[in-house]
Structure 1
Amino acid sequence: MTRLSRRGFLASSVALAGGLTGCSGLGSTGPTGEGSADGSDGSSGGTGSTDGTGTAAGDLLPAPVAGDPDADVTVTAWEDYACPHCQTYSTTVYPKVKSDYLDSGSIRYEFHDFPVMDSQVTWQAANAARAVQVEAGDEAYFTYSKRLYENQRRLGPDVYAELTDGLDAGGDAVRQAATNRTYDPTIKASRQAAIDKGLRGTPAVIVDGNEVAWENEIAYAPVRDAIESALNG
């Protein structure tokens, strides 16, 4: 079983430039045997194959969406499944966003992969989640994403399969997508989009084009205030 490396967690302890809180490994060349900062590890990334559902692995998948797809306010979250700060965001901030704004359909919410950590989990977990998206849809994706963060310290191939329990996604297929890194093209494209936007680390949250500024901790108040400003603007 592949577990999140100690090296990966140590990398996350460094504060981002400008005093922002979060994970950043964009300057890293990547650990030997775990994939470089651009996600390359000698694997093919699934080029030219299919995942068993009829979707070409090389096709780019859309960002998973929650809430009202047609809402006037859009929130985009850029995360890395190996980042402990993203775990904090997912387990303490996102549930409040969901109850206050998603359940009522007030906003459109998008998840984007932004691999920054020096860890194999970064890429495998993202691939597992994308396999769930393909097999079972966006709602299942967000359920599975929650489970990934809740089990962050023990993630590995067997856990990726285990966490599909109760979802319309096959555990073996999800495990295979994770270890083969079937959806690397989508994840790499998402990462490049984050870099092009000038994002420096994770979690990054953007509300209608404006990035939420973290101060000393990952907290709900800055996200809430940005959403309220956009809704009332």
Structure 2
Amino acid sequence: MQRRHFLTLAGAVAAGALAGSRLLAQGVDVDAILRDPAAPTAGNPKGDVTVVAFLDYNCPFCKKAAPDLERTVKEDGKIRLVYKDWPILTEASVYGAQMALAAKYQGGYSRVHHALMAIPGRGVSKEQMAAAVRASGIDLARLEADLTAHAGDISTLLKRNLAQAESIGLQGTPTYLIGPFRTSTLDYAGSKQAFAEARRRQAAE
């Protein structure tokens, strides 16, 4: 991790990142952010470090960082990754989040998530997102059925993600909570360093 990036990360801690005691003092339910049973997850479910990623499918910075994050999580083998769909940029962002979360009911969240993240640029339309989902190989009939059947649960989860983001003062996407750190900048080298530092801090507590 470059020194500038590390200082940004450390500064986020001082400003009130995911440090449990401070968030709890502000009335934030840290466990609900880390372990919402409805939130899609990846990586190792028993990982020793949890990464919470607040993302929007129309966020170019989310798309740029996604491959490095996925690669680092896979290589590390001990990271638990929690996805927080936080569609705040466009109406199409909400549509994309709904599609990804509906795919979860057939075990296809990751497939749809990656398909949507792979669409280049910003300002991606609903039509472009629908085409990407179709190309992902997901069962579209099942997806549409689940989108209707679970509309209330999906809407509730998106509202809960929004409330959680607001409760800890997030300003935009992407935002990553890594152990006690919060950052909006994440690359391959930076994520590896952040995971190592999170472990070091956890061991020192």
Report the TM-score range of the alignment, normalised by the length of the smaller protein. 0.5 to 0.7
The code of the aligned residue for 1:97 comes to: T
Rounded to whole Å, the distance in 2 between the matches of 1:226 and 1:161 is 32
Return the offset for 1:181: 9.2
Structural mapping, 1:207-218, within 5 Å: 207-212=178-183, 214=185, 218=186
Runs of 5+ unmatched residues, structure 2: 1-7, 10-35
Q: Map residues 90-109 of structure 1 onto 2, 5 A cutoff.
A: 90-91=66-67, 93-101=68-76, 104=77, 106-109=78-81
1:63 aligns with 2:39: yes
User: What is the aligned-residue RMSD (CA, Å)?
Assistant: 2.9
1:212 Cα shift?
Answer: 2.2
Change in 2 beyond 3 A, CA 1:163/1:185: farther
Residue 205 of structure 1 aligns to a residue in which SS? strand
Asked if the contact 1:75–1:107 (Cα under 8 Å) also holds between the matched residues in 2, the reply is: yes
User: Structure 1 residue 89 and structure 2 residue 65: aligned?
Assistant: yes
Q: Which has the higher helix share?
A: 2
Letter in 2 for 1:78: F
Instruction: Answer yes or no: is the 8 Å Cα contact 1:81–1:148 preserved in 2.
Output: yes
Q: Which amino acid in structure 1 is aligned with residue 116 of structure 2?
A: L
- The alpha-carbon deviation at position 207 of structure 1 amounts to 0.7
Amino acid at match of 1:232: R
State the distance in 1 between where 2:38 and 2:150 align.
17
Bigger Cα displacement from structure 2, 182-191 vs 72-81: 182-191
- Note the C-alpha offset of 1:231: 2.4
Matches of 2:50 and 2:171, distance apart in 1: 20
1:171 to 140, 143, 168: 140
Residue 116 in structure 1 maps to residue 73 in structure 2: no
Aligned pairs (5 A) from 1:24-173: 62-91=38-67, 93-101=68-76, 104=77, 106-117=78-89, 119-136=90-107, 140-151=108-119, 153=124, 155-156=126-127, 158-159=130-131, 161-165=133-137, 167=138, 170-173=139-142
**CA displacement at 1:87 relative to structure 2:** 1.1
3-state DSSP class of the match of 2:100?
helix
With over 3 angstroms needed to count, the CA separation of the structure-2 counterparts of 1:75 and 1:188, relative to structure 1, is same
1:111, 1:224 → 2: CA distance? 18
- Scaled by the length of structure 1, what TM-score is found? 0.60
1:194 counterpart (157, 165, 179): 165
> Would you say 1:231 and 2:199 are equivalent positions?
yes
CA shift digits 1:149-201 (9 cap, x unpaired): 11254652642651441x4xx31343566699922221121111111111111
CA-to-aligned-CA distance 1:30-65 (integer Å, 9 cap, x gap): xxxxxxxxxxxxxxxxxxxxxxxxxxxxxx961111
Q: Partner of 2:38: helix, strand, or coil?
A: coil
Query: How many matched pairs?
Result: 162
Q: Give the fraction of aligned pairs with identical amino acids, expressed as a percent.
A: 23
- Whichever residue aligns with residue 63 of structure 2, its letter is Q
Contact 1:160/1:175 (8 A) holds in 2:
no
